[in-house]
Copies of this chain bind each other. A is one copy, B any other.
């Protein structure tokens, strides 16, 4: 829900309805909406971190730089299937001005960047380009570009260069159904 509507727009009522519980219980369980979003942001960043660490642990040490980047990119593409993770992070990354979420947002972003730089041993050029592609993918998800892709040649082109030749497979594996079904306004 936060991935779809952001922090302010993701009401505890909509979250409760999606979870099939009462609004009061959502607040009571997490203490406040702020704590809930903080936990959701942390969880999303932890998930991306874990996925990257798993890929890196699979390295033998004699992969080329291109091969390391390819494998991390493939893992990121797989994350697209769960829209919520990447879109929640994207919303967190717009909260740099916030005294509570700003520090979490910057720490989360830099923590993952450090893993790519230090553990995956990617060069500054390669790492920044890797993150740039990731942010483009996030943006295309937020735009729901995959849904209109068939009508727009350039939309397809962007998805293709973001996700490679598996873009159709990846896109069709994910869905926004939960957020759509439970939210008032589609």
Contact = CB atoms under 8 A, between A and B. Distances in A.
A40 interface: no
B99 A185 contact: yes
Copies in the complex: 2
B6 A142 contact: no
A161 B94 CA distance: 20
Contact of A9 (B8, B138, B186): B8
Contact of A90 (B8, B94, B97, B125): B94
Interface stretch (A42-50, A56-64, A101-109): A101-109
Interface string A145-171: 101100010110110011000000000
A132 interface: yes
Contact of A158 (B87, B128, B162, B179): B128
Contacts of A179: 97
Contact of A106 (B87, B95, B109, B148): B148
Given A155-B110, A157-B124, A186 B99 contact: yes
Interface of A: 4-9, 87, 90-91, 93-99, 102, 105-106, 109-110, 113-114, 117, 124-125, 128-129, 131-133, 135-136, 138-139, 141-145, 147-148, 152, 154-155, 157-158, 161-162, 176, 179-180, 185-186
Contact of A138 (B87, B114, B135, B141): B135
B97 A186 contact: yes
Contacts of A158: 113, 128, 131
